[in-house]
Chains A and B, each alone.
Chain A
Amino acid sequence: MVTLNLLIAVCLIYVAGLFLVAFLAERAALRGRGGWLLRSPLVYTLSLSIYCTAWTFYGAVGYAARSGLEYVTIYLGPTLVMIGWWWVLRRLVRIGRAQRVTSVADLISARFGKSNLLAVMVTAMAVIGVTPYIALQLQSVTLSVSIFAADDVSSMQSGDLNDYAAFWVAAGLAVFTLVFGTRNLNANERHHGVVIAVAVEAVVKLVALLAVGAFVVWGVAGGLADTISRIDASPIGTWQTGGGRWSALIVLSAAAFVCLPRMFQVLVVENEDERHLQIASWAFPIYLLAISLFVVPIAVIGLELMPTGANPDLYVLTIPLSQGQSGLAMLVFLGGFSSATSMVIVATLALSTMMSNHIVMPLWLQLSARGAQQSGDVRAVVIRARRLSILLIISLGYLYYRASGGSGALAAIGLISFGGVAQFLPALLGGIFWRGATRTGAVAGLAAGFVVWMYTMLLPSFGPDGALPAAVFEQGLFGVSQLRPRALFGITGLDPTVHAVWWSLSLNTLLFITVSIFSFPTPLERLQGAQFVNVFDRSSRHARGWSASEGEAEDLMIMSQRILGAPEAQAFFRDQALQQGRVGRSPAPTPEFVQALERELAASVGAATANAMIGQIIGGQAISVEELMAVADESAQILEYSSKLELKSRQLAETAHELSRANEKLTQLSLLKDSFLTQISHELRTPMTSIRSFSEILRDMADLSDVDKTRYASIIHSETIRLTRLLDDLLDLAVLEGGQVSLNCKTVNLHDILEQAVTTAQASSAREFDIRRQVANEDVTLVTDGDRLAQVFINLVSNALKYCDAAEPELDIAVRREAENVIVAFTDNGSGIPADGETVVFEKFVRLGRGEGDGAGLGLAICREIVTRLGGAISYVPLEKGGRFEVRLSSGHAGKELPRMLLI
């Protein structure tokens, strides 16, 4: 026996658990942790299950008990949309991310020139369409509570109880949505807490329904075979659905799946990663299949077991209770509670975003005389608007529930809601697939569809003499029989739902297309249309629209800080400035920048409001857009009609450009060659001068002393060596530069190479030198040409020995690792390389500074060539005192680049 108090206690614990889960998720997201779960495709898929509300949890069984298999159409439609993700959802998600769309109203408004009229229409229609749906959730919770209460003698009057339960459920949901739905303003920053709570509830409701199903099949009936025979023997045991109604319902549920504000919220706005959609494309249908699997067996067993008067909508709950399974009944109650709460939370969140962005904020902007940039903290206003909207929507749902008295089968209310939101479909699909769709067309289509829906579906649902007088049903509006709400244009005999869906959607579509064809879009609409329809086309992504002056940039900054928050706005401006290459300054107000800013703002307040705010500051955007459109039109025509011609001319231009570059390079090469030859000539003639002169002296003068003779001979000798070395270097360089060098790559130890280099360099130097090493760090294994690397090191050490001008010269050789690289640094304590020489020190024939050197200035040029060939880099790092050469080698696979180098 489950007492009411126990039920309430379990409910409270469950809700507290949800709060905790949501809180932990928010905190983890804030600290950048738990991304593997929060941003996982599993959570995305489970969050889609808010499609399965209390309507499907309780109502599907009732639906099946009344109409057989028809209930399954409500799941088949979404399955088709998911399996067909490539067609529609892929585009929606990409557009949603590219345009930073915050809701379905935002998307439609943004597509049709950021029209606020459309945004308001869609928002109003969504609120009207979804309010009964929210009421339906409250109704289902109170219904389920009343089942338990009927068993509980201690309970109060059931009427009071229903109001009581509905009120507290509504209040609790409002608190939850306020806490986790308005924590951050930017709708594109996902509501991790909400999403994770919804995912948890998805599991609870699925488990509950499967548990009841298993209990019914194997606990009440005698297994699968028995269940099947009971199904066929039941009053619903034959196929009764008319084909028209069957297909119409599949189309309707598919349309609603895409258009419902809460589905748009979880499908598009809360989407973290486009790849998740592909996974959900098969994972979510599995969920749908599982949740609808046992519906018919439960309905059939319910029809058998329950008394005739029992509400089939509650079979899920009453069957376990009648069999004395209180635990299972409790689980079912929680499942139903989960379905209701998750739907209300997300639907409210989605609707409140729409209301605050499209109704409250524009009003506020209009009323606030001082304009966007001077007014107070807009952030606070937006958040307040959103909170107010949440309270308003939940109140509306509650009031609707109280007013309607909780009557009517759940499924009927659900279908009416579906019919309302399905009216968005033509504008939505037209907007993302057809560039010719215009704002006027969308307004006409939406209005027509909505009116027809109201007249044929919503109002008749209140029954004859409910919202419409009975006479209207009989004779039509104003007595015109063509206008009977269930037989428009005299077409009778159609199922009412098929009739309403058919007429509302076809009139909607017809007007949308016709008016679009005969109206002309504004420039902004055409711009947005191109971006939406060609969202997968890279070239059209950067449409421009704004032109601002430097002075206005400051105003933009002030406004952004108020909407995005100071640190976020500053970070955004800094990033943009960095992208423009303006380090440490504010970004230039280029059209690209203003557009990026608009998108950023749109993520917080919606496209139309963001557009209006920026328009307030920059003003007169239409002019520049128009100008731009004129140009864009021309280029579009060129692209469309003479793309070949353009391609040719581009190729020509490219060829011409390449030719002129080649020419430049040749001229440069020729200059380089001249200067190289001059240098070579100088370097060769200088030692030859001494050699010739002294050899003539030795030959011609007999009276030289022995000391002089020896001295002159040794000068000749050393100059000959200098010549030889010069020739060697030149050949070496020619080979290296020609790329024909063959590297002999082996596994070598860096320590051995440094040891060899230092020993060799010291042997040819007479100076006393303090060389410091870090032997421990030098134990690095490299695959490289050891001899070539040693040549580089010898050169660097010798240079230091030769040119370090400190009184007590020191050379420090340090080895360190950076990621994949090994860096060998040679630091001396001399005066370093003069500042003007730093850039040219690795060039050929550059000898800097101290004059006493005898090299031709090829050493470092050769070093650079070798290190490059070995797949590394060499650089000079000027220091406060002294200079440092750094050789960067990639560890492990130095020389791996070799084959490519050889190809070049």
Chain B
Amino acid sequence: MAKTPLFLERQSYRRRRMMDAVRILPLLCAVLWMIVPMMWPNGTEQSEPTSLSHAIGYVFIVWAVGIVATAGLWHRIRSRDDADEARQTEPRS
């Protein structure tokens, strides 16, 4: 097998970091969508309940940013071919 170099050239390095971002992004969205709304007051406690327009604004802005980020990452990584992807991003077990 070819030896894996210890340090990658700049381009490969960037690609790997892009793939890291692709993997982390859904987790980030999940936290923003699932954990944050759980902390909103919903009228059962003393505090004033969150207004619906604020809730809509929050959910849809996270949504739009998530889409733009995914599309941006896709744009950056699409040039690489499948073989490349499989070799570089699949963790060796």
Contact = CB atoms under 8 A, between A and B. Distances in A.
- Asked if the two chains touch in their complex, CB atoms less than 8 Å apart, one says yes
Interface of A: 68-69, 72, 76, 79-80, 82-84, 86-87, 228, 231-232, 234, 236-244, 246-247, 250-251, 274-275, 278-279, 281-283, 285-286, 289, 293, 296, 534, 536-538, 647
A69 B66 contact: no
B86 interface: yes
A231 B82 CA distance: 47
Contacts of A286: 67
B38 A69 contact: no
A87 B40 contact: no
B30 to A, nearest CB: 6
A285 B33 contact: no
Nearest to B48: A238
Given A278-B78, A285-B67, A285-B70, A238 B30 contact: no
A364 B2 CA distance: 51
Nearest to B43: A238
Interface string B33-66: 1110111111100000111111110011001101
A297 to B, nearest CB: 9
Contact of A72 (B34, B40, B42, B59): B59
Contact of A296 (B27, B38, B56): B56
A242 B42 contact: yes
Nearest to B27: A84
B63 A285 contact: yes
A293 B64 CA distance: 11
Contacts of B34: 246-247, 250-251
Given A239-B43, A286-B67, A293 B78 contact: no
Contacts of A293: 60
A239 B49 contact: yes
Given A87-B26, A236-B52, A240-B43, 14 more contacts: A76-B59, A76-B63, A79-B63, A83-B26, A84-B27, A228-B53, A238-B52, A239-B37, A247-B38, A278-B78, A282-B67, A282-B70, A285-B63, A285-B67
9 contacts: A83-B67, A231-B52, A239-B52, A243-B39, A247-B34, A283-B71, A285-B66, A289-B63, A534-B93
A286 to B, nearest CB: 6
Interface in B59-93: 59-60, 63-64, 66-68, 70-71, 74, 77-78, 82, 86, 90, 93
Nearest to A69: B55
B52 A237 contact: yes
Contacts, number: 118
Contacts of B74: 278-279, 281-282
B60 to A, nearest CB: 7
A286 B74 CA distance: 14
Interface of B: 1, 19, 22-23, 25-27, 29-30, 33-35, 37-43, 49-56, 59-60, 63-64, 66-68, 70-71, 74, 77-78, 82, 86, 90, 93
Contacts of A246: 34, 37-38
Given A238-B50, A241-B37, A231 B56 contact: yes
A80 B60 contact: no
Contacts of B90: 536-537
A281 B70 CA distance: 7
B38 A243 contact: yes
Contact of A69 (B52, B70, B93): B52
A236 B42 CA distance: 12
A595 B26 CA distance: 37
B48 to A, nearest CB: 9
A232 B51 contact: yes
> Would you list the 5 A-B pairs with minimal beta carbon distance, nearest first?
A84-B26, A243-B38, A239-B50, A282-B71, A238-B49
Nearest to B78: A278
Contacts of B67: 83, 282, 285-286, 289
A72 B19 CA distance: 28
A239 B41 CA distance: 8
Of A79, A87, A279, A534, most buried by chain B (CB within 10 Å of CB) is A79
A76 B23 contact: no
B64 A289 contact: yes
A87 B25 CA distance: 11
A768 B36 CA distance: 98
B49 A274 contact: no
Contacts of B49: 238-240
A87 B56 CA distance: 28
B1 to A, nearest CB: 8
A289 B51 contact: no
A597 to B, nearest CB: 25
Contacts of A534: 93
Nearest to A279: B74
Contacts of A228: 53
A698 to B, nearest CB: 71
Contacts of B68: 282
Contacts of B43: 238-240
A68 B26 CA distance: 25
Given A83-B25, A239-B41, A76 B70 contact: no
Contacts of B40: 239, 243
Contacts of B86: 536, 538
Nearest to A68: B52
Contacts of A239: 37, 40-43, 49-52, 54-55
Contacts of B1: 647
Contacts of A296: 52, 56
A237 B43 CA distance: 11
Contacts of A87: 23, 26
A246 B30 CA distance: 12
B42 A238 contact: yes
B33 A250 contact: yes
Nearest to A73: B33
Contact of B78 (A72, A82, A236, A275): A275
